Structure 1
Protein backbone atom coordinates (compact mmCIF):
# COMPACT_ATOMS: atom_id res chain seq x y z
CA UNK A 1 0.00 0.00 0.00
CA UNK A 2 1.41 3.38 -1.04
CA UNK A 3 1.77 5.79 1.87
CA UNK A 4 1.64 9.56 1.68
CA UNK A 5 5.41 9.63 2.20
CA UNK A 6 5.88 7.29 -0.78
CA UNK A 7 3.62 9.50 -2.88
CA UNK A 8 5.54 12.63 -1.93
CA UNK A 9 8.83 11.00 -2.84
CA UNK A 10 7.42 9.93 -6.20
CA UNK A 11 6.12 13.42 -6.93
CA UNK A 12 9.42 15.03 -6.03
CA UNK A 13 11.25 12.55 -8.24
CA UNK A 14 9.03 13.33 -11.23
CA UNK A 15 10.00 17.00 -11.04
CA UNK A 16 13.62 16.80 -9.97
CA UNK A 17 14.76 18.65 -13.10
CA UNK A 18 13.11 21.84 -11.91
CA UNK A 19 15.35 24.82 -11.19
CA UNK A 20 14.73 24.70 -7.44
CA UNK A 21 14.98 20.90 -7.03
CA UNK A 22 18.64 20.74 -6.00
CA UNK A 23 18.14 23.35 -3.29
CA UNK A 24 14.87 21.94 -1.92
CA UNK A 25 15.83 18.25 -1.92
CA UNK A 26 17.91 18.24 1.33
CA UNK A 27 15.15 20.09 3.17
CA UNK A 28 12.56 17.69 1.79
CA UNK A 29 14.53 14.63 2.87
CA UNK A 30 15.20 15.96 6.37
CA UNK A 31 11.55 16.94 6.88
CA UNK A 32 10.37 13.49 5.78
CA UNK A 33 12.84 11.80 8.11
CA UNK A 34 11.40 13.46 11.24
CA UNK A 35 8.37 11.15 11.72
CA UNK A 36 10.48 8.02 11.15
CA UNK A 37 13.12 9.12 13.64
CA UNK A 38 10.48 9.98 16.21
CA UNK A 39 8.90 6.56 15.70
CA UNK A 40 12.30 4.97 16.30
CA UNK A 41 12.66 6.89 19.56
CA UNK A 42 9.16 5.81 20.58
CA UNK A 43 10.08 2.17 19.89
CA UNK A 44 13.28 2.50 21.92
CA UNK A 45 11.40 4.03 24.83
CA UNK A 46 8.73 1.34 24.68
CA UNK A 47 11.36 -1.39 24.69
CA UNK A 48 13.00 0.01 27.82
CA UNK A 49 11.45 -2.07 30.59
CA UNK A 50 12.97 0.16 33.25
CA UNK A 51 10.78 3.10 32.22
CA UNK A 52 7.22 3.74 33.26
CA UNK A 53 4.68 4.96 30.71
CA UNK A 54 5.30 8.49 31.94
CA UNK A 55 9.04 7.97 31.58
CA UNK A 56 8.69 6.71 28.04
CA UNK A 57 6.62 9.74 27.08
CA UNK A 58 9.17 12.05 28.70
CA UNK A 59 12.06 10.37 26.84
CA UNK A 60 10.44 11.05 23.48
CA UNK A 61 9.44 14.54 24.53
CA UNK A 62 13.03 15.32 25.49
CA UNK A 63 14.37 14.44 22.05
CA UNK A 64 11.69 16.32 20.07
CA UNK A 65 13.42 19.75 20.24
CA UNK A 66 16.46 18.38 18.39
CA UNK A 67 14.37 18.21 15.21
CA UNK A 68 13.16 21.81 15.39
CA UNK A 69 16.07 23.39 13.44
CA UNK A 70 15.57 21.15 10.40
CA UNK A 71 11.82 21.76 10.32
CA UNK A 72 12.28 25.53 10.57
CA UNK A 73 14.84 25.49 7.76
CA UNK A 74 12.60 23.36 5.56
CA UNK A 75 9.62 25.62 6.18
CA UNK A 76 11.74 28.68 5.36
CA UNK A 77 13.02 27.04 2.17
CA UNK A 78 9.45 26.40 1.03
CA UNK A 79 8.41 30.00 1.76
CA UNK A 80 11.42 31.39 -0.10
CA UNK A 81 10.66 29.09 -3.03
CA UNK A 82 7.10 30.42 -3.16
CA UNK A 83 8.40 33.97 -3.11
CA UNK A 84 10.85 33.27 -5.92
CA UNK A 85 8.10 31.64 -8.00
CA UNK A 86 5.89 34.69 -7.56
CA UNK A 87 8.69 37.00 -8.62
CA UNK A 88 9.31 34.94 -11.73
CA UNK A 89 5.64 35.23 -12.56
CA UNK A 90 5.68 38.97 -11.84
CA UNK A 91 8.62 39.39 -14.22
CA UNK A 92 6.49 37.94 -17.03
CA UNK A 93 3.50 40.16 -16.26
CA UNK A 94 2.81 42.84 -18.89
CA UNK A 95 4.08 46.14 -17.60
CA UNK A 96 4.52 49.73 -18.70
CA UNK A 97 8.02 50.31 -20.02
CA UNK A 98 7.90 54.06 -20.71
CA UNK A 99 6.70 56.01 -17.69
CA UNK A 100 7.54 59.31 -19.36
CA UNK A 101 4.87 58.97 -22.04
CA UNK A 102 1.99 60.99 -20.58
CA UNK A 103 -0.25 60.47 -23.61
CA UNK A 104 0.01 56.69 -23.29
CA UNK A 105 -0.65 56.92 -19.56
CA UNK A 106 -3.86 58.85 -20.22
CA UNK A 107 -4.84 56.32 -22.89
CA UNK A 108 -4.46 53.48 -20.38
CA UNK A 109 -6.64 55.44 -17.98
CA UNK A 110 -9.34 55.67 -20.65
CA UNK A 111 -8.96 51.97 -21.49
CA UNK A 112 -9.58 50.97 -17.88
CA UNK A 113 -12.72 53.08 -17.81
CA UNK A 114 -13.80 51.47 -21.09
CA UNK A 115 -13.39 47.96 -19.64
CA UNK A 116 -15.50 48.47 -16.54
CA UNK A 117 -18.77 46.61 -16.61
CA UNK A 118 -17.86 44.48 -19.62
CA UNK A 119 -18.14 40.68 -19.40
CA UNK A 120 -14.97 38.91 -18.32
CA UNK A 121 -14.79 36.93 -21.55
CA UNK A 122 -14.86 40.13 -23.59
CA UNK A 123 -12.17 41.72 -21.42
CA UNK A 124 -9.95 38.66 -21.88
CA UNK A 125 -10.48 38.78 -25.66
CA UNK A 126 -9.69 42.49 -25.85
CA UNK A 127 -6.61 42.04 -23.69
CA UNK A 128 -5.22 39.38 -26.02
CA UNK A 129 -5.79 41.59 -29.06
CA UNK A 130 -4.31 44.81 -27.71
CA UNK A 131 -0.98 45.09 -25.84
CA UNK A 132 -1.99 48.51 -24.53
CA UNK A 133 -5.08 46.92 -23.01
CA UNK A 134 -2.91 44.41 -21.16
CA UNK A 135 -0.66 47.19 -19.87
CA UNK A 136 -3.73 49.10 -18.68
CA UNK A 137 -5.13 46.08 -16.85
CA UNK A 138 -1.88 45.28 -15.04
CA UNK A 139 -0.63 48.81 -14.39
CA UNK A 140 -2.55 49.16 -11.12
CA UNK A 141 -4.96 47.26 -8.87
CA UNK A 142 -7.42 44.91 -10.56
CA UNK A 143 -10.34 47.05 -9.35
CA UNK A 144 -9.24 49.86 -11.67
CA UNK A 145 -10.42 47.75 -14.61
CA UNK A 146 -13.49 46.43 -12.82
CA UNK A 147 -11.89 43.03 -12.21
CA UNK A 148 -11.24 40.89 -9.17
CA UNK A 149 -7.71 39.68 -8.47
CA UNK A 150 -8.83 36.13 -9.26
CA UNK A 151 -10.22 37.06 -12.68
CA UNK A 152 -7.19 39.15 -13.56
CA UNK A 153 -4.97 36.24 -12.51
CA UNK A 154 -6.89 34.00 -14.92
CA UNK A 155 -6.39 36.51 -17.74
CA UNK A 156 -2.68 36.63 -16.92
CA UNK A 157 -2.37 32.85 -16.95
CA UNK A 158 -4.07 32.64 -20.35
CA UNK A 159 -1.78 35.33 -21.72
CA UNK A 160 1.42 33.78 -20.35
CA UNK A 161 0.50 30.28 -21.50
CA UNK A 162 0.42 31.69 -25.03
CA UNK A 163 3.38 34.06 -24.90
CA UNK A 164 5.70 32.43 -22.36
CA UNK A 165 4.83 28.73 -22.40
CA UNK A 166 8.35 27.39 -21.60
CA UNK A 167 8.74 29.72 -18.63
CA UNK A 168 5.27 28.84 -17.36
CA UNK A 169 6.06 25.12 -17.57
CA UNK A 170 9.20 25.68 -15.52
CA UNK A 171 7.26 27.72 -12.96
CA UNK A 172 4.66 24.93 -12.73
CA UNK A 173 7.44 22.41 -12.04
CA UNK A 174 8.80 24.60 -9.26
CA UNK A 175 5.32 25.03 -7.77
CA UNK A 176 4.90 21.25 -7.51
CA UNK A 177 8.15 20.92 -5.56
CA UNK A 178 7.26 23.81 -3.26
CA UNK A 179 3.89 22.17 -2.54
CA UNK A 180 5.51 18.78 -1.91
CA UNK A 181 7.99 20.35 0.53
CA UNK A 182 5.18 22.21 2.31
CA UNK A 183 3.34 18.91 2.75
CA UNK A 184 6.47 17.22 4.12
CA UNK A 185 6.91 20.11 6.58
CA UNK A 186 3.27 19.77 7.70
CA UNK A 187 3.74 16.05 8.33
CA UNK A 188 6.93 16.69 10.30
CA UNK A 189 5.30 19.49 12.28
CA UNK A 190 2.32 17.32 13.26
CA UNK A 191 4.64 14.51 14.33
CA UNK A 192 6.66 16.93 16.45
CA UNK A 193 3.56 18.42 18.03
CA UNK A 194 2.39 14.94 19.01
CA UNK A 195 5.82 14.00 20.40
CA UNK A 196 6.15 17.27 22.33
CA UNK A 197 2.64 17.03 23.74
CA UNK A 198 1.46 20.35 22.32
CA UNK A 199 -1.45 21.40 20.13
CA UNK A 200 -0.70 21.49 16.39
CA UNK A 201 -1.83 25.13 16.36
CA UNK A 202 1.06 25.97 18.70
CA UNK A 203 3.79 24.27 16.69
CA UNK A 204 5.22 27.43 15.12
CA UNK A 205 5.77 29.19 18.43
CA UNK A 206 7.15 25.96 19.93
CA UNK A 207 9.63 25.59 17.05
CA UNK A 208 10.80 29.17 17.52
CA UNK A 209 11.32 28.56 21.24
CA UNK A 210 13.35 25.41 20.63
CA UNK A 211 15.52 26.82 17.84
CA UNK A 212 15.59 30.62 18.20
CA UNK A 213 18.70 31.12 16.05
CA UNK A 214 17.19 29.24 13.11
CA UNK A 215 13.84 31.00 13.57
CA UNK A 216 15.56 34.40 13.51
CA UNK A 217 17.57 33.51 10.40
CA UNK A 218 14.41 32.30 8.65
CA UNK A 219 12.54 35.51 9.48
CA UNK A 220 15.43 37.65 8.26
CA UNK A 221 15.67 35.68 5.01
CA UNK A 222 11.99 36.22 4.29
CA UNK A 223 12.23 39.91 5.15
CA UNK A 224 15.27 40.55 2.98
CA UNK A 225 14.50 41.87 -0.52
CA UNK A 226 15.69 39.70 -3.38
CA UNK A 227 15.51 41.70 -6.65
CA UNK A 228 15.27 39.87 -9.94
CA UNK A 229 18.52 39.53 -11.84
CA UNK A 230 17.04 41.41 -14.76
CA UNK A 231 16.25 44.44 -12.62
CA UNK A 232 18.54 47.42 -12.78
CA UNK A 233 18.83 50.26 -10.32
CA UNK A 234 15.79 50.98 -8.20
CA UNK A 235 13.55 53.39 -10.12
CA UNK A 236 12.88 56.82 -8.71
CA UNK A 237 9.46 58.12 -7.75
CA UNK A 238 6.79 58.12 -10.43
CA UNK A 239 6.67 61.61 -11.99
CA UNK A 240 2.97 61.67 -12.79
CA UNK A 241 1.37 62.50 -9.46
CA UNK A 242 -1.74 63.77 -11.18
CA UNK A 243 -2.29 60.47 -13.00
CA UNK A 244 -1.74 58.48 -9.82
CA UNK A 245 -4.20 60.70 -7.98
CA UNK A 246 -6.79 60.08 -10.69
CA UNK A 247 -6.17 56.34 -10.43
CA UNK A 248 -6.72 56.44 -6.68
CA UNK A 249 -9.91 58.38 -7.28
CA UNK A 250 -11.02 55.61 -9.66
CA UNK A 251 -10.57 52.98 -6.93
CA UNK A 252 -12.41 55.13 -4.40
CA UNK A 253 -15.30 55.58 -6.82
CA UNK A 254 -15.49 51.83 -7.44
CA UNK A 255 -15.56 51.11 -3.72
CA UNK A 256 -18.46 53.52 -3.27
CA UNK A 257 -20.58 51.81 -5.94
Structure 2
Protein backbone atom coordinates (compact mmCIF):
# COMPACT_ATOMS: atom_id res chain seq x y z
CA UNK A 1 0.00 0.00 0.00
CA UNK A 2 2.99 2.25 0.48
CA UNK A 3 3.52 2.33 -3.30
CA UNK A 4 -0.01 3.73 -3.71
CA UNK A 5 0.71 6.51 -1.24
CA UNK A 6 3.94 7.35 -3.06
CA UNK A 7 2.00 7.85 -6.30
CA UNK A 8 0.47 10.96 -4.72
CA UNK A 9 2.69 13.93 -5.57
CA UNK A 10 4.80 14.89 -2.53
CA UNK A 11 3.49 18.47 -2.81
CA UNK A 12 0.17 17.16 -1.54
CA UNK A 13 1.36 15.95 1.85
CA UNK A 14 -2.13 16.32 3.33
CA UNK A 15 -3.51 13.80 0.83
CA UNK A 16 -0.60 11.47 1.56
CA UNK A 17 -1.37 11.72 5.28
CA UNK A 18 -5.06 10.99 4.60
CA UNK A 19 -4.08 7.93 2.54
CA UNK A 20 -1.86 6.72 5.40
CA UNK A 21 -4.83 7.23 7.73
CA UNK A 22 -7.07 5.15 5.45
CA UNK A 23 -4.57 2.28 5.33
CA UNK A 24 -4.04 2.60 9.09
CA UNK A 25 -7.78 2.12 9.53
CA UNK A 26 -7.55 -1.06 7.46
CA UNK A 27 -4.68 -2.31 9.62
CA UNK A 28 -6.60 -1.59 12.83
CA UNK A 29 -9.70 -3.28 11.41
CA UNK A 30 -7.56 -6.33 10.62
CA UNK A 31 -6.15 -6.36 14.15
CA UNK A 32 -9.65 -6.05 15.62
CA UNK A 33 -10.82 -8.87 13.33
CA UNK A 34 -7.96 -11.07 14.54
CA UNK A 35 -8.93 -10.39 18.16
CA UNK A 36 -12.54 -11.26 17.43
CA UNK A 37 -11.53 -14.47 15.59
CA UNK A 38 -9.51 -15.48 18.64
CA UNK A 39 -12.67 -15.37 20.80
CA UNK A 40 -13.69 -19.03 20.96
CA UNK A 41 -16.97 -18.10 22.64
CA UNK A 42 -18.27 -16.89 19.26
CA UNK A 43 -19.32 -19.09 16.38
CA UNK A 44 -17.85 -18.40 12.94
CA UNK A 45 -21.05 -16.53 12.05
CA UNK A 46 -20.89 -14.61 15.31
CA UNK A 47 -17.29 -13.68 14.62
CA UNK A 48 -18.16 -12.37 11.15
CA UNK A 49 -21.08 -10.38 12.56
CA UNK A 50 -18.86 -8.85 15.25
CA UNK A 51 -16.14 -8.02 12.70
CA UNK A 52 -18.64 -6.37 10.36
CA UNK A 53 -20.14 -4.37 13.22
CA UNK A 54 -16.69 -3.19 14.34
CA UNK A 55 -15.77 -2.14 10.79
CA UNK A 56 -19.11 -0.38 10.23
CA UNK A 57 -18.76 1.50 13.51
CA UNK A 58 -15.20 2.75 13.03
CA UNK A 59 -13.17 2.26 9.85
CA UNK A 60 -16.04 2.48 7.35
CA UNK A 61 -17.28 5.74 8.87
CA UNK A 62 -13.86 7.35 8.72
CA UNK A 63 -13.15 6.19 5.17
CA UNK A 64 -16.56 7.43 4.06
CA UNK A 65 -15.66 10.84 5.52
CA UNK A 66 -12.36 10.78 3.61
CA UNK A 67 -14.25 9.86 0.41
CA UNK A 68 -16.70 12.75 0.95
CA UNK A 69 -13.78 15.14 1.50
CA UNK A 70 -12.11 13.90 -1.70
CA UNK A 71 -15.29 14.28 -3.76
CA UNK A 72 -15.77 17.82 -2.44
CA UNK A 73 -12.20 18.69 -3.42
CA UNK A 74 -12.76 17.29 -6.94
CA UNK A 75 -15.96 19.34 -7.26
CA UNK A 76 -14.06 22.42 -6.11
CA UNK A 77 -11.46 21.82 -8.82
CA UNK A 78 -14.20 21.60 -11.43
CA UNK A 79 -15.50 24.99 -10.25
CA UNK A 80 -11.98 26.46 -10.44
CA UNK A 81 -11.56 25.03 -13.94
CA UNK A 82 -14.88 26.60 -15.03
CA UNK A 83 -13.52 29.96 -13.87
CA UNK A 84 -11.06 29.78 -16.78
CA UNK A 85 -13.69 29.01 -19.42
CA UNK A 86 -14.27 31.73 -22.00
CA UNK A 87 -16.63 34.48 -20.95
CA UNK A 88 -19.24 34.87 -23.66
CA UNK A 89 -20.64 38.30 -24.53
CA UNK A 90 -24.43 38.04 -24.08
CA UNK A 91 -25.60 40.50 -26.69
CA UNK A 92 -27.51 40.08 -29.94
CA UNK A 93 -24.45 41.16 -31.91
CA UNK A 94 -22.26 38.73 -30.01
CA UNK A 95 -24.64 35.84 -30.66
CA UNK A 96 -24.85 36.69 -34.34
CA UNK A 97 -21.06 36.70 -34.61
CA UNK A 98 -20.79 33.33 -32.80
CA UNK A 99 -23.55 31.86 -34.99
CA UNK A 100 -21.73 32.95 -38.14
CA UNK A 101 -18.46 31.46 -36.87
CA UNK A 102 -20.18 28.14 -36.10
CA UNK A 103 -21.71 28.08 -39.59
CA UNK A 104 -18.29 28.85 -41.09
CA UNK A 105 -16.70 26.01 -39.08
CA UNK A 106 -19.40 23.56 -40.20
CA UNK A 107 -18.67 24.33 -43.85
CA UNK A 108 -14.94 23.61 -43.54
CA UNK A 109 -13.37 20.20 -44.08
CA UNK A 110 -12.27 18.39 -40.91
CA UNK A 111 -8.57 19.28 -41.20
CA UNK A 112 -9.20 23.01 -41.69
CA UNK A 113 -11.84 23.05 -38.95
CA UNK A 114 -9.44 21.40 -36.50
CA UNK A 115 -6.59 23.75 -37.47
CA UNK A 116 -8.78 26.80 -36.84
CA UNK A 117 -10.05 25.43 -33.54
CA UNK A 118 -6.54 25.03 -32.19
CA UNK A 119 -5.02 28.18 -33.69
CA UNK A 120 -8.05 30.42 -33.80
CA UNK A 121 -8.60 33.25 -31.47
CA UNK A 122 -10.94 34.00 -28.64
CA UNK A 123 -13.93 34.52 -30.95
CA UNK A 124 -13.74 30.96 -32.32
CA UNK A 125 -13.40 29.49 -28.83
CA UNK A 126 -16.37 31.52 -27.60
CA UNK A 127 -18.43 30.33 -30.57
CA UNK A 128 -17.85 26.65 -29.83
CA UNK A 129 -18.06 27.09 -26.05
CA UNK A 130 -21.48 28.69 -26.25
CA UNK A 131 -23.31 25.95 -28.17
CA UNK A 132 -23.54 22.18 -28.58
CA UNK A 133 -20.57 20.78 -30.49
CA UNK A 134 -22.60 19.54 -33.45
CA UNK A 135 -23.63 23.11 -34.34
CA UNK A 136 -19.97 23.75 -35.20
CA UNK A 137 -19.59 20.44 -37.04
CA UNK A 138 -17.34 18.96 -34.37
CA UNK A 139 -17.54 16.17 -31.81
CA UNK A 140 -17.89 16.71 -28.07
CA UNK A 141 -14.37 15.33 -27.64
CA UNK A 142 -12.86 17.77 -30.13
CA UNK A 143 -14.73 20.64 -28.48
CA UNK A 144 -13.40 19.63 -25.05
CA UNK A 145 -9.84 19.36 -26.38
CA UNK A 146 -10.04 22.74 -28.11
CA UNK A 147 -11.39 24.42 -24.98
CA UNK A 148 -8.69 22.76 -22.85
CA UNK A 149 -5.94 23.82 -25.28
CA UNK A 150 -7.23 27.40 -25.23
CA UNK A 151 -7.37 27.44 -21.42
CA UNK A 152 -3.83 26.05 -21.29
CA UNK A 153 -2.61 28.72 -23.72
CA UNK A 154 -4.33 31.55 -21.83
CA UNK A 155 -3.90 30.34 -18.24
CA UNK A 156 -1.01 27.84 -18.38
CA UNK A 157 0.34 27.95 -14.80
CA UNK A 158 -3.11 27.92 -13.20
CA UNK A 159 -4.28 25.05 -15.41
CA UNK A 160 -1.08 23.09 -14.66
CA UNK A 161 -1.70 23.56 -10.95
CA UNK A 162 -5.28 22.34 -11.31
CA UNK A 163 -4.12 19.32 -13.35
CA UNK A 164 -1.53 18.39 -10.71
CA UNK A 165 -4.11 18.66 -7.95
CA UNK A 166 -6.60 16.61 -10.00
CA UNK A 167 -4.02 13.85 -10.47
CA UNK A 168 -3.24 13.81 -6.74
CA UNK A 169 -6.94 13.64 -5.86
CA UNK A 170 -7.45 10.78 -8.32
CA UNK A 171 -4.48 8.90 -6.82
CA UNK A 172 -5.93 9.47 -3.36
CA UNK A 173 -9.29 8.19 -4.64
CA UNK A 174 -7.52 5.02 -5.81
CA UNK A 175 -6.04 4.60 -2.32
CA UNK A 176 -9.53 4.88 -0.85
CA UNK A 177 -10.86 2.26 -3.28
CA UNK A 178 -8.12 -0.15 -2.24
CA UNK A 179 -8.77 0.55 1.45
CA UNK A 180 -12.52 0.00 0.99
CA UNK A 181 -11.83 -3.24 -0.87
CA UNK A 182 -9.57 -4.45 1.91
CA UNK A 183 -12.23 -3.63 4.50
CA UNK A 184 -14.81 -5.61 2.53
CA UNK A 185 -12.46 -8.56 2.36
CA UNK A 186 -11.86 -8.39 6.12
CA UNK A 187 -15.61 -8.11 6.73
CA UNK A 188 -16.25 -11.15 4.53
CA UNK A 189 -13.55 -13.17 6.26
CA UNK A 190 -11.44 -13.37 3.10
CA UNK A 191 -8.51 -11.37 4.45
CA UNK A 192 -6.72 -11.75 7.72
CA UNK A 193 -4.34 -8.92 8.52
CA UNK A 194 -1.64 -9.89 10.98
After TM superposition, is the score higher than 0.5?
yes
CA distance, structure 2, for counterparts of residue 120 and residue 36 of structure 1: 55
1:31: how far off?
A: 2.3
User: TM-score, length-normalised on structure 2?
Assistant: 0.82
Does the alignment pair 1:73 with 2:65?
Answer: yes
Calculate the TM-score normalised by the size of structure 1. Answer: 0.64
Q: What corresponds to 1:110 in structure 2?
A: 100
**RMSD (Å), alpha carbons:** 2.5
Higher relative contact order (CA 8 A, sep 6+): 2
Aligned to 1:179: 170
**Does the C-alpha gap of structure 1 residues 129 and 61 become closer, same or farther in structure 2, counting only changes over 3 Å?**
closer
C-alpha offsets along residues 196-243 of structure 1, whole Å, 9 cap, x if unaligned? 449xxxxxxxxxxxxxxxxxxxxxxxxxxxxxxxxxxxxxxxxxxxxx
Are 1:44 and 2:35 counterparts? yes
Note if contact 1:109-1:136 (Cα within 8 Å) is conserved in structure 2. yes
**8 A contact 1:95–1:138 mirrored in 2:** no
State the secondary structure of the residue aligned to 2:87: coil
How many angstroms does 1:51 deviate by?
4.4
Pairing partner for 1:12 from 8, 13, 16: 8
Residue deviations 1:33-75 (CA, integer Å, cap 9, x gap): 2321222123223444554433432331220112222122111
Matched length: 187
Asked if the contact 1:74–1:181 (Cα under 8 Å) also holds between the matched residues in 2, the reply is no
Q: Which runs of 5+ in 1 are unaligned?
A: 199-257
2:44 is matched with 53
| 1-structure distance, mates of 2:112, 2:75 | 32
Q: How far does residue 138 in structure 1 lie from its aligned partner after superposition?
A: 0.4
**Equivalent residues of 1:61, 1:196 under 8 A apart:** yes
What is aligned with 1:125?
Answer: 115
Q: Deviations over 1:166-197 (max 9, x none)?
A: 01210111111211221122122222333444
